[in-house]
Structures are given as structure tokens and as C-alpha cells.
Chain A
Amino acid sequence: DTGVSQDPRHKITKRGQNVTFRCDPISEHNRLYWYRQTLGQGPEFLTYFQNEAQLEKSRLLSDRFSAERPKGSFSTLEIQRTEQGDSAMYLCASSLAGGSVDEQYFGPGTRLTVT
């Protein structure tokens, strides 16, 4: 399967702990996006990379959140000192800038539960 993959699929953590999620985009895609989705809502944009450069961060992304894409391939999203309000599905998507159709390909998501 050459789609977008995310790891882990589920994470349960205690409040105050740090967590890190990984996203592997489609290999030739140069753009990578992180979104957060809570129950009954659509995905909310968090941040985006073009190659290894992080070009935009949402105001939703507090200082406890950091994302990297060190070699322009996979990306990690870290949440420090987790809070119960961080419980959500974290979705990664990738796309090819300059392609004929600008659709984004989403991974299956990482569901985070903070207890």
C-alpha cells in the first residue's frame, strides 16, 4: 500500500505526558499537512510543510505542539504536557504541489485519548 500511513493508530496517555506521532506521506508528495478532528466536527488545519520547511502554523497550535519534517519525507507531531482538551483524532495529509488536481490524500489518523 503506497498511501499515507500514520503511527500509532491509537494512543492513550495520562495528562501531563508527552506524545509523538509519525506520518509517512506518499513518497513523491512534497506537501504535508497536519489536521485535528474532534467528534462531530470537520478536520481543523494545524500546520503545513513544503518539503522540509514549515510554512504555516495555525493559531490553534499552542507552544506545546511542535512539528518537524527533517528530510522532507516523514513528519512528526509532538504534544508536550498533554491536556484533556488535546483528545482528538490527528490526521496527516499529503499532496503534490503543482499537480493537475490539488487534492489531499489523508492517512487513517492517530486517535489520542488523554486521561
Chain B
Amino acid sequence: SQKIEQNSEALNIQEGKTATLTCNYTNYSPAYLQWYRQDPGRGPVFLLLIRENEKEKRKERLKVTFDTTLKQSLFHITASQPADSATYLCALDIDGATNKLIFGTGTLLAVQP
């Protein structure tokens, strides 16, 4: 069956440390993988997109890696801040024609001051 798995447990880290979130998938061959942030009661907000032929993408304090052999993406937030506390969703774009997204369940990140 097709699955997208993210850390089911909440991730608690200390301010200033690097947060690393994992997204594993099976039985998909995504054209793109995207990461979104979602705050309680609000819609997801796009953060980063990485294509299947890219290994790594960076944006300010964010870094995403994509290993299509392992079927895994890692999402890093360096120098984390309490304002980074939110749920982070990975999403697979499995059809480059429609850009329909298949989302994981999300990982709740809590950054302690």
C-alpha cells in the first residue's frame, strides 16, 4: 500500500538547536516533495520544494534533503526559535501534470526557550 510517514511523536527541542524532521514514503515515485508549516486553526503555508533530481535545497535557516533511493526526505531548521513551533507537513506531488498533493500526517515541533 502507499504510505507517507512522519515522526508520529511530537519533537521537543531547545532553542538554538537544530530540529530534524523525517518524511518516509513507500510505493510512490514523486516528481516533487514539498514541506509546509501549519499553525493551529490555519491552513498550511508553503516552505520549500525539492525536485526528484535534487539532493538538497536551502532557504535561510531551512534545509531539505531528498533521497529517492531511500524514499526519504529530511527537513532541518537550524538555530531554532520558539516561533518555529508548529506542525510541519511533508507532501508528495505524484503527478506533475495536476500537482495534486498527498500529505503526511505531520510532525508537531515544540521549541522550548
For chain B, the count of residues having a C-beta within 8 Å of the partner chain is: 23
Give 12 pairs: A residue, B residue, CB < 8 Å, sorted on A.
A33-B100, A43-B101, A48-B98, A56-B98, A91-B43, A95-B99, A103-B46, A104-B46, A104-B101, A106-B43, A107-B43, A109-B43
Give the docked Cα–Cα distance between A40 and B89 (Å): 11
A72 at the binding interface (Cβ < 8 Å): no
* Cα-based distance from A91 to B32 in the complex (angstroms): 21
Given the known interface contacts A41-B105, A42-B105, the answer about A102 and B43 at a Cβ–Cβ threshold of 8 Å is no
Question: A109 contacts which chain B residues (CB < 8 A)?
Answer: 41-43
Question: Are B49 and A43 in contact, CB atoms less than 8 angstroms apart?
Answer: no
Say whether B105 contacts A106, CB under 8 Å.
no
How far, in whole Å, are A52 and B22 apart by their CA atoms in the complex? Answer: 37
Task: Name the interface size band of chain A.
Answer: 20 to 34
Chain A residue nearest in CB terms to B4: A42
Query: Do most interface residues of chain B lie in helix, strand or loop, or is the interface mixed?
Result: strand
- Minimum CB distance partner of B95 in chain A: A56
Residues of chain A contacted by B49 (CB below 8 angstroms): 101-103
Docked complex Cα distance between A114 and B18 (Å): 41
Complexed CA–CA distance, A109 and B99 (Å): 20
**B91 touching A102, Cβ below 8 Å:** no
Complex interface bits, A82-115 against B, C-beta within 8 A gives 1, otherwise 0: 0000000001010101000111111111010000
Q: Which of A35, A41, A42 has the most CB of B within 10 A?
A: A42
In the complex, the answer to whether B103 meets A42 with C-beta atoms within 8 Å is yes
Kindly provide the distance from the CB of B9 to the nearest chain A CB, expressed in whole angstroms.
12
Q: Are B89 and A42 in contact (CB under 8 A)?
A: yes
Q: Which residues of B contact A101 (CB under 8 A)?
A: 49
Which chain A positions have C-beta within 8 A of B104? 42
